[in-house]
Amino acid sequence: MEENKDLLAQVDTTKLPAHVAIIMDGNGRWAQMRGEHRVFGHQNGVDSVRETAEAAAELGIRYLTLYAFSTENWNRPKEEVNALMHLLVITINNEIKTLNENNIRLRAMGNLHCLDKKVKEELNEALDKTSQNTRMDLILALSYSGRWEIVEAAKSIAALVKDGKLKEEKINEKLFASYLNLPEIPDPELLIRTSGEYRISNFLMWQTAYTELYFTPKLWPDFRKNDLYEAIVDYQQRERRFGKTSEQIIQFKG
């Protein structure tokens, strides 16, 4: 598509975010607009996952984190939860070969113990089989919530203090962050949320402290490469100040 090329040409590949995170929202509405069951939306959402991961890897983005299943999603009707779990198993299984061909490492964060046995098995196999890949990390947040992750970190730290293995005065932001899931991965510079909702919904609560937020009305199953390029171009036009003044940033750059 010509339009595709125009947007792609606008992306400055020397100033890419290293880490992009996405809240994939709107699958249910997309399906309902077509008179279909919500699960149909999730099934079509998989095509968007594939396209977005491909586009991110092609651009040179190092980490892509997708909010695939939140802690709160367990409260959905049982048949939808089951269908989502089934879809995860099938998708992960189908994609291992492509992930390896494209040198993409699959990773996962969240309360993975809660996942169904079959999902855990498929997931562990895919994590293992792609563990040597180095081009991009595709991180699935599964049974994940930001507050859960922060509470878990607090519990681990509290246990160390209680056992006399850590001194309270040693606790600072750096140490705390090291007890979060996948601590070696840098915070996302850009968070995208689809479907016109303006919320973080308990995603990466700690890691998004300084993240640029980008909201699009597109429903997730309609999200394509072009939409990722558009979000990145928008991000690249912003000035990231991290609490400093505009003048300080310009001085620093100059």
The correct pick among 56, 66, 136, 204 for binding ligand FPP (CB under 6 A) is: 66
Copy the structure tokens of residue 253: 């750059």
Q: In the window 136-175, what residues touch ligand FPP (CB under 6 A)?
A: 140
Known active-site residue 25: yes
* 68 near ligand FPP, rule: CB under 6 A: yes
Nearest distance in Å: CB 51, ligand FPP? 12
- Whether the Cβ atoms of residue 147 and residue 202 lie closer than 8 Å to each other: yes
Q: Give me the half-sphere count of Cα atoms (radius 13 Å) on the Cβ side of residue 115.
A: 27
- Whether the Cβ atoms of residue 136 and residue 61 lie closer than 8 Å to each other: yes
* 111 near ligand FPP, rule: CB under 6 A: no
Residue nearest to ligand FPP (CB): 28
* 24 near ligand FPP, rule: CB under 6 A: yes
What are the C-alpha distances in Å from 136 to residues 96, 131, 133, 163? Answer: 14, 11, 8, 38
* 110 near ligand FPP, rule: CB under 6 A: no
Q: Which of 47, 73, 93, 133 is catalytic?
A: 73
Specify the residue, 119 or 153, whose C-beta has the smaller distance to ligand FPP.
119
Known active-site residue 27: no
The correct pick among 22, 49, 185, 232 for binding ligand FPP (CB under 6 A) is: 49
* 71 near ligand FPP, rule: CB under 6 A: no
What's the CA gap between 161 and 209, in Å, rounded?
26
The correct pick among 36, 37, 46, 86 for binding ligand FPP (CB under 6 A) is: 46
Enzyme catalytic residues:
25, 73
